[in-house]
Amino acid sequence: MTTKKMSAENETCPAQALLKMLSGKWKPEIFRLATKGPLRFSSLLREIAGSNKQSLSVALKELEEAGLLEKVIIREKPLHIEYNLTENGKSLIPIFEQLESLG
Amino acid sequence: MTTKKMSAENETCPAQALLKMLSGKWKPEIFRLATKGPLRFSSLLREIAGSNKQSLSVALKELEEAGLLEKVIIREKPLHIEYNLTENGKSLIPIFEQLESLG
DNA sequence: GCAATAAGTCAGTTTTTTATGACTACCAAA
DNA sequence: TTTGGTAGTCATAAAAAACTGACTTATTGC
């Protein structure tokens, strides 16, 4: 295979990283719901119309890797997992709300 | 062809439209430069490292269709075209700067 | 052990976005 | 009328993002 270079992440624009964290087909809606309270996978799947397991899984992972969400195992009645906003995630709420009000 | 439905634009999240307007590989950088002054196609191509005609063309068209940029024909020495921020575009500068400062 | 609930993963496919290189259209100057 | 600058388009290809349906893993209740 020819050694072709991959997307060299041209981060010349400071806003780009943040925009990338929140953009995509499902991440804005997931983030918005996360600001309301803890998220569960199965609930998201039910509540977000038109979504699907794979895409939500990928989106949640990206939000987690971006440091906006964290996974918590809840050892209760039916053992399950919660996704919560991290401190970093919470710090984005004000600007996210502005985006909402302008959109 | 089977009548398969296309992306039904699930705009349940108010921030989504705005995020989409500004996201992508080149749009953030183009918008940032536009806040500094009028843009010319050939200059963008030179100044944005790693870019290419087709992608810039698509990005400019999307920014234009989103109502953030407008095309102006300049009848001068070498006749050319300028892209300027619209009033709508200018109204996004504050939030864009916040995105930059947080990124 | 067997079924149910929760939270996914995996392989394969389709759709969207981005990239490449050749080509076009307009105007102006020589 | 040929050349040069500016601003693209077009067909095509490659890469990334999103979708589908089958399958997996872990725990609990019977």
Per-residue model confidence as pLDDT tens digits over B34-76: 999 999 999 999 999 999 999 999 999 999 999 999 999 999 8
A24 touches strand D (CB under 7 A): yes
Q: Can you count the helices (H) and strands (E) in chain A?
A: 6, 2
pLDDT tens-digit series, residues A57-89: 999 999 999 999 999 999 988 899 999 999 999
Cβ pair B103:A48 closer than 8 A: no
Q: In a 10 Å sphere around its CB, with 0-12 CB exposed, 13-18 middle and 19+ buried, how is residue B30 labelled?
A: buried
The whole-angstrom separation of Cα B46 and Cα B7 is 35
**Contact between chains at A22 and B19 (C-beta distance less than 8 A):** yes
A5 confidence band (pLDDT: 50, 70, 90): very low
**Residues A24-34 pLDDT 10s:** 999 999 999 99
Does residue A17 lie within any of the structural domains? Answer: no
User: In total, how many domains does chain A have?
Assistant: 1
Q: Please give the pLDDT value at position A103.
A: 83
Asked if pLDDT for residue A1 goes beyond 70, the answer is no
> Is A13 a domain residue?
no
Say if A76 falls within a structural domain.
yes
Within residues 18-37 of protein chain A, the ones with CB less than 7 A from nucleic strand C are none
Residue length of chain B: 103
A36 CB and strand D closer than 7 A? no
What pLDDT sits at residue B5? 32
Q: In this structure, is residue A93 part of a structural domain? A: yes
Identify whether A16 is part of a domain.
no
Give the residue numbers spanning the domain of A87: 25-102
A9 touches chain B (CB under 8 A): no
Type of residue found at A40: R
Task: Tell me if B2 is assigned to some domain.
Answer: no
- Percentage of residues in chain A with pLDDT exceeding 70? 90
Confirm whether A10 is domain-assigned.
no
- pTM confidence score: 0.91
Kindly report the bases of strand D lying within 7 A of a protein C-beta atom.
5-11, 14-22, 27-29
* CATH number of domain containing B85: 1.10.10.10
Beta-carbon separation of A98 and B102 below 8 A: no
